Amino acid sequence: MTKILVTGATGQIGSELTLALREKYGRDNVIAAGNKTTPSDELKTSGPFITLDVTDKEVLEKVVTKYNITQIYHLVSLLSAVGEKNPDAAWFVNMTSLKNVLDIAKDKKLDKVFWPSSIAAFGPDTPREKTPQLTILNPSTMYGVTKVAGELLCDYYFQKYNLDVRSLRYPGIISWKTDPGGGTTDYTVGMYKTAVKDNPTYECFVDEKTILPMMYMPDAIKATIDLMEAKSQNITIRTSYNLAAISFSAKELEKEIQKHIPQFKCTYKPDFRQKIADSWPKTIDDSQARKDWNWKPKYNLSTMTEDILKIR
Protein backbone atom coordinates (compact mmCIF):
# COMPACT_ATOMS: atom_id res chain seq x y z
CA MET A 1 0.00 0.00 0.00
CA THR A 2 1.21 3.49 -0.85
CA LYS A 3 1.65 5.67 2.26
CA ILE A 4 2.78 9.21 1.53
CA LEU A 5 4.35 11.88 3.73
CA VAL A 6 4.11 15.45 2.42
CA THR A 7 6.51 17.79 4.18
CA GLY A 8 5.90 21.51 3.80
CA ALA A 9 2.23 20.67 3.36
CA THR A 10 1.07 24.11 4.49
CA GLY A 11 3.00 25.89 1.72
CA GLN A 12 1.73 27.11 -1.63
CA ILE A 13 2.29 23.86 -3.52
CA GLY A 14 2.01 21.48 -0.58
CA SER A 15 -1.43 22.65 0.50
CA GLU A 16 -2.96 21.81 -2.88
CA LEU A 17 -0.79 18.82 -3.76
CA THR A 18 -1.76 17.13 -0.48
CA LEU A 19 -5.45 17.39 -1.31
CA ALA A 20 -4.88 15.98 -4.80
CA LEU A 21 -2.87 13.08 -3.41
CA ARG A 22 -5.56 12.32 -0.83
CA GLU A 23 -8.19 12.26 -3.54
CA LYS A 24 -6.08 9.76 -5.48
CA TYR A 25 -4.65 7.56 -2.71
CA GLY A 26 -7.17 7.97 0.11
CA ARG A 27 -7.35 10.46 2.97
CA ASP A 28 -5.65 8.25 5.55
CA ASN A 29 -2.78 7.33 3.24
CA VAL A 30 -1.40 10.86 2.88
CA ILE A 31 0.14 12.40 5.99
CA ALA A 32 0.45 16.19 5.83
CA ALA A 33 3.32 17.69 7.83
CA GLY A 34 3.84 21.37 8.59
CA ASN A 35 5.86 23.34 11.09
CA LYS A 36 5.37 27.06 11.65
CA THR A 37 2.55 27.87 9.21
CA THR A 38 -1.00 27.25 10.44
CA PRO A 39 -2.73 24.67 8.23
CA SER A 40 -6.00 25.47 6.51
CA ASP A 41 -9.19 23.89 7.82
CA GLU A 42 -9.43 21.88 4.60
CA LEU A 43 -5.95 20.49 5.12
CA LYS A 44 -6.69 19.48 8.72
CA THR A 45 -10.09 17.95 8.07
CA SER A 46 -9.30 16.08 4.85
CA GLY A 47 -6.78 13.72 6.46
CA PRO A 48 -4.02 13.32 9.06
CA PHE A 49 -1.95 16.42 9.89
CA ILE A 50 1.15 16.50 12.09
CA THR A 51 3.62 19.16 13.21
CA LEU A 52 7.13 18.25 12.09
CA ASP A 53 10.54 19.91 11.96
CA VAL A 54 12.22 18.08 9.08
CA THR A 55 15.66 19.36 10.08
CA ASP A 56 15.37 17.03 13.09
CA LYS A 57 16.38 13.69 11.59
CA GLU A 58 15.45 11.59 14.62
CA VAL A 59 11.91 12.95 14.75
CA LEU A 60 11.48 12.58 10.98
CA GLU A 61 12.60 8.96 11.14
CA LYS A 62 10.06 8.22 13.90
CA VAL A 63 7.28 9.69 11.74
CA VAL A 64 8.29 7.59 8.73
CA THR A 65 8.30 4.47 10.89
CA LYS A 66 5.06 5.24 12.73
CA TYR A 67 3.02 5.80 9.58
CA ASN A 68 4.73 3.11 7.46
CA ILE A 69 5.65 5.72 4.87
CA THR A 70 6.59 4.44 1.40
CA GLN A 71 6.96 7.78 -0.44
CA ILE A 72 7.99 11.29 0.61
CA TYR A 73 7.08 14.49 -1.21
CA HIS A 74 9.59 16.85 0.37
CA LEU A 75 8.41 20.45 -0.19
CA VAL A 76 10.06 22.25 2.74
CA SER A 77 12.05 25.29 1.55
CA LEU A 78 12.86 28.92 2.28
CA LEU A 79 12.18 30.73 -1.00
CA SER A 80 14.31 33.19 -2.97
CA ALA A 81 13.41 36.58 -1.52
CA VAL A 82 13.16 35.29 2.04
CA GLY A 83 16.41 33.37 1.60
CA GLU A 84 18.30 36.50 0.57
CA LYS A 85 17.32 38.15 3.83
CA ASN A 86 18.64 35.18 5.81
CA PRO A 87 20.98 33.06 3.65
CA ASP A 88 22.27 31.03 6.61
CA ALA A 89 18.75 29.92 7.45
CA ALA A 90 18.04 29.14 3.79
CA TRP A 91 21.08 26.87 3.57
CA PHE A 92 20.34 25.13 6.87
CA VAL A 93 16.64 24.52 6.28
CA ASN A 94 16.85 23.62 2.59
CA MET A 95 19.90 21.38 2.68
CA THR A 96 19.62 19.77 6.11
CA SER A 97 16.01 18.76 5.54
CA LEU A 98 16.76 17.30 2.10
CA LYS A 99 19.77 15.33 3.36
CA ASN A 100 17.65 13.94 6.21
CA VAL A 101 14.90 12.86 3.82
CA LEU A 102 17.34 11.18 1.43
CA ASP A 103 19.20 9.35 4.20
CA ILE A 104 16.02 8.03 5.79
CA ALA A 105 14.58 7.06 2.39
CA LYS A 106 17.80 5.19 1.61
CA ASP A 107 18.02 3.43 4.97
CA LYS A 108 14.36 2.43 5.04
CA LYS A 109 14.28 1.58 1.34
CA LEU A 110 11.34 3.83 0.50
CA ASP A 111 9.79 3.46 -2.94
CA LYS A 112 10.16 7.07 -4.14
CA VAL A 113 11.07 10.61 -3.13
CA PHE A 114 9.91 13.82 -4.80
CA TRP A 115 11.87 17.03 -4.31
CA PRO A 116 11.23 20.32 -6.16
CA SER A 117 13.96 22.33 -7.79
CA SER A 118 13.28 25.68 -9.45
CA ILE A 119 14.20 28.09 -12.22
CA ALA A 120 16.23 29.72 -9.43
CA ALA A 121 18.86 27.06 -10.19
CA PHE A 122 19.70 29.01 -13.34
CA GLY A 123 21.75 32.20 -13.32
CA PRO A 124 22.88 35.24 -15.31
CA ASP A 125 25.07 33.14 -17.62
CA THR A 126 22.29 30.69 -18.46
CA PRO A 127 20.62 31.17 -21.88
CA ARG A 128 17.42 33.07 -21.13
CA GLU A 129 15.47 32.00 -24.21
CA LYS A 130 14.41 28.34 -24.41
CA THR A 131 16.72 27.47 -21.54
CA PRO A 132 17.95 23.93 -22.30
CA GLN A 133 17.73 20.94 -19.98
CA LEU A 134 21.51 20.68 -19.70
CA THR A 135 23.02 24.13 -19.28
CA ILE A 136 25.04 26.41 -17.01
CA LEU A 137 23.79 26.52 -13.43
CA ASN A 138 25.29 29.50 -11.60
CA PRO A 139 22.49 30.99 -9.46
CA SER A 140 22.69 34.42 -7.89
CA THR A 141 20.68 33.61 -4.75
CA MET A 142 21.22 31.29 -1.79
CA TYR A 143 17.88 29.69 -2.64
CA GLY A 144 19.22 28.93 -6.11
CA VAL A 145 22.48 27.62 -4.66
CA THR A 146 20.52 25.16 -2.51
CA LYS A 147 18.54 24.05 -5.55
CA VAL A 148 21.68 23.29 -7.57
CA ALA A 149 23.24 21.50 -4.61
CA GLY A 150 19.99 19.62 -4.05
CA GLU A 151 19.79 18.49 -7.67
CA LEU A 152 23.31 17.10 -7.48
CA LEU A 153 22.58 15.43 -4.15
CA CYS A 154 19.44 13.75 -5.50
CA ASP A 155 21.35 12.48 -8.52
CA TYR A 156 24.14 11.21 -6.22
CA TYR A 157 21.69 9.19 -4.12
CA PHE A 158 20.23 7.67 -7.27
CA GLN A 159 23.63 6.81 -8.74
CA LYS A 160 25.19 5.50 -5.52
CA TYR A 161 22.22 3.99 -3.66
CA ASN A 162 19.66 3.49 -6.46
CA LEU A 163 17.18 5.65 -4.56
CA ASP A 164 14.29 6.59 -6.85
CA VAL A 165 14.38 10.38 -6.47
CA ARG A 166 12.43 12.53 -8.93
CA SER A 167 12.46 16.28 -9.34
CA LEU A 168 11.05 19.19 -11.35
CA ARG A 169 12.46 22.66 -11.94
CA TYR A 170 9.25 24.54 -11.24
CA PRO A 171 8.68 27.89 -12.93
CA GLY A 172 6.75 30.56 -11.01
CA ILE A 173 3.64 28.86 -9.62
CA ILE A 174 0.38 30.82 -9.59
CA SER A 175 -2.45 30.04 -7.21
CA TRP A 176 -5.20 32.13 -5.60
CA LYS A 177 -5.67 29.79 -2.62
CA THR A 178 -2.58 30.69 -0.59
CA ASP A 179 -0.85 33.97 0.16
CA PRO A 180 2.55 34.68 -1.41
CA GLY A 181 5.34 32.85 0.41
CA GLY A 182 8.38 35.03 -0.22
CA GLY A 183 9.27 34.15 -3.80
CA THR A 184 10.38 36.45 -6.61
CA THR A 185 7.37 35.50 -8.78
CA ASP A 186 4.89 36.41 -6.02
CA TYR A 187 3.81 39.54 -7.90
CA THR A 188 1.60 37.40 -10.11
CA VAL A 189 -0.39 36.13 -7.14
CA GLY A 190 -0.39 39.65 -5.71
CA MET A 191 -2.00 41.03 -8.87
CA TYR A 192 -4.81 38.47 -8.86
CA LYS A 193 -5.54 38.88 -5.15
CA THR A 194 -5.59 42.67 -5.43
CA ALA A 195 -7.76 42.66 -8.55
CA VAL A 196 -10.80 41.28 -6.71
CA LYS A 197 -10.65 43.91 -3.94
CA ASP A 198 -12.37 47.30 -3.85
CA ASN A 199 -10.42 50.07 -5.65
CA PRO A 200 -7.82 47.53 -6.87
CA THR A 201 -4.35 49.01 -7.34
CA TYR A 202 -1.26 46.85 -7.03
CA GLU A 203 2.34 48.03 -6.66
CA CYS A 204 4.47 45.55 -8.56
CA PHE A 205 8.03 44.95 -7.37
CA VAL A 206 9.40 44.14 -10.84
CA ASP A 207 9.45 46.20 -14.02
CA GLU A 208 6.48 45.93 -16.39
CA LYS A 209 8.71 44.42 -19.10
CA THR A 210 9.90 41.57 -16.87
CA ILE A 211 9.16 38.23 -18.53
CA LEU A 212 9.35 35.00 -16.53
CA PRO A 213 8.13 31.43 -17.05
CA MET A 214 4.98 30.70 -15.06
CA MET A 215 2.51 27.89 -14.44
CA TYR A 216 -1.00 27.63 -13.03
CA MET A 217 -1.20 25.45 -9.93
CA PRO A 218 -3.44 22.72 -11.44
CA ASP A 219 -0.78 22.15 -14.11
CA ALA A 220 1.97 22.03 -11.46
CA ILE A 221 0.02 19.44 -9.46
CA LYS A 222 -0.64 17.36 -12.56
CA ALA A 223 3.03 17.49 -13.61
CA THR A 224 4.18 16.38 -10.16
CA ILE A 225 1.83 13.41 -9.95
CA ASP A 226 2.47 12.43 -13.59
CA LEU A 227 6.22 12.41 -12.95
CA MET A 228 5.86 10.31 -9.80
CA GLU A 229 3.59 7.81 -11.55
CA ALA A 230 5.81 7.44 -14.61
CA LYS A 231 7.62 4.14 -15.04
CA SER A 232 11.13 4.24 -13.61
CA GLN A 233 12.69 3.19 -16.92
CA ASN A 234 11.20 6.29 -18.56
CA ILE A 235 12.93 8.69 -16.16
CA THR A 236 16.15 9.79 -17.86
CA ILE A 237 16.85 12.91 -15.73
CA ARG A 238 17.81 12.36 -12.11
CA THR A 239 18.88 15.90 -11.31
CA SER A 240 15.68 17.79 -12.18
CA TYR A 241 13.43 18.08 -15.24
CA ASN A 242 12.86 21.43 -16.88
CA LEU A 243 9.15 22.26 -16.69
CA ALA A 244 7.29 24.96 -18.61
CA ALA A 245 3.81 26.17 -19.43
CA ILE A 246 3.53 29.91 -20.19
CA SER A 247 5.74 32.99 -20.22
CA PHE A 248 4.48 36.57 -20.07
CA SER A 249 5.49 40.02 -18.91
CA ALA A 250 4.13 41.73 -15.83
CA LYS A 251 2.38 44.22 -18.12
CA GLU A 252 0.76 41.45 -20.15
CA LEU A 253 -0.67 39.99 -16.95
CA GLU A 254 -2.01 43.41 -15.93
CA LYS A 255 -3.76 43.79 -19.30
CA GLU A 256 -5.20 40.28 -19.16
CA ILE A 257 -6.73 40.95 -15.74
CA GLN A 258 -8.15 44.26 -17.01
CA LYS A 259 -10.15 42.34 -19.65
CA HIS A 260 -12.20 41.01 -16.72
CA ILE A 261 -11.77 43.83 -14.19
CA PRO A 262 -11.24 47.09 -16.11
CA GLN A 263 -10.75 49.15 -12.95
CA PHE A 264 -7.66 47.15 -11.93
CA LYS A 265 -4.50 49.24 -12.01
CA CYS A 266 -0.86 48.38 -11.54
CA THR A 267 2.08 50.61 -10.70
CA TYR A 268 5.67 49.46 -11.00
CA LYS A 269 8.34 50.00 -8.38
CA PRO A 270 11.15 47.46 -8.82
CA ASP A 271 13.05 46.46 -5.67
CA PHE A 272 15.87 43.98 -4.92
CA ARG A 273 13.83 41.19 -6.50
CA GLN A 274 14.25 42.76 -9.95
CA LYS A 275 17.90 41.68 -10.01
CA ILE A 276 16.87 38.14 -9.13
CA ALA A 277 14.22 38.09 -11.86
CA ASP A 278 16.71 39.39 -14.41
CA SER A 279 18.99 36.40 -13.71
CA TRP A 280 16.25 33.88 -14.51
CA PRO A 281 15.05 32.53 -17.89
CA LYS A 282 12.26 34.03 -19.95
CA THR A 283 11.28 30.76 -21.62
CA ILE A 284 12.12 27.13 -20.84
CA ASP A 285 12.77 24.13 -23.08
CA ASP A 286 10.99 21.23 -21.39
CA SER A 287 11.10 18.86 -24.38
CA GLN A 288 12.73 16.12 -22.30
CA ALA A 289 9.80 16.00 -19.89
CA ARG A 290 7.38 15.94 -22.81
CA LYS A 291 9.32 13.08 -24.39
CA ASP A 292 9.95 10.96 -21.28
CA TRP A 293 6.57 11.10 -19.50
CA ASN A 294 4.29 12.94 -21.93
CA TRP A 295 4.13 16.23 -20.06
CA LYS A 296 1.76 18.81 -21.53
CA PRO A 297 0.25 21.87 -19.79
CA LYS A 298 -3.44 22.65 -20.01
CA TYR A 299 -3.59 26.37 -19.20
CA ASN A 300 -2.38 29.50 -20.99
CA LEU A 301 -2.48 33.09 -19.70
CA SER A 302 -6.03 33.67 -20.90
CA THR A 303 -7.59 30.46 -19.59
CA MET A 304 -5.70 30.70 -16.29
CA THR A 305 -6.87 34.26 -15.68
CA GLU A 306 -10.45 33.41 -16.58
CA ASP A 307 -10.40 30.42 -14.22
CA ILE A 308 -8.89 32.32 -11.28
CA LEU A 309 -11.23 35.31 -11.52
CA LYS A 310 -14.27 33.09 -12.10
CA ILE A 311 -13.49 31.15 -8.91
CA ARG A 312 -12.85 34.29 -6.90
Q: Does domain 4-171+217-242 have CATH number 3.40.50.720?
A: yes
Domains 4-171+217-242 and 173-213+245-283+299-311 share a fold: no
Strand partners, 204: 268
Confidence band (pLDDT; 50, 70, 90) for 186?
A: very high
CATH topology of domain 173-213+245-283+299-311: UDP-galactose 4-epimerase; domain 1 (3.90.25)
> CA dihedral in degrees (121, 126, 128, 132; nearest 10)?
-80
Domain ranges of the chain: 4-171+217-242, 173-213+245-283+299-311
Which tens digits make up the pLDDT trace of 261-287? 999 999 999 999 999 999 999 999 999
Cβ proximity of 7 and 33 under 8 Å: yes
- In the chain, % of residues over pLDDT 70: 99
Active-site positions read: 143
Q: In the predicted model, is pLDDT for residue 311 greater than 70? A: no
Which tens digits make up the pLDDT trace of 192-224? 999 999 889 999 999 999 999 999 999 999 999
Pairing of strands 201-204, 265-268: parallel
Estimate the crossing angle of helix 301-311 against helix 250-258, to 10 degrees: 50
DSSP code for 261: -
Q: In the predicted model, is pLDDT for residue 83 greater than 90? A: no
Give the whole-angstrom CA distance, residue 301 versus residue 278: 21
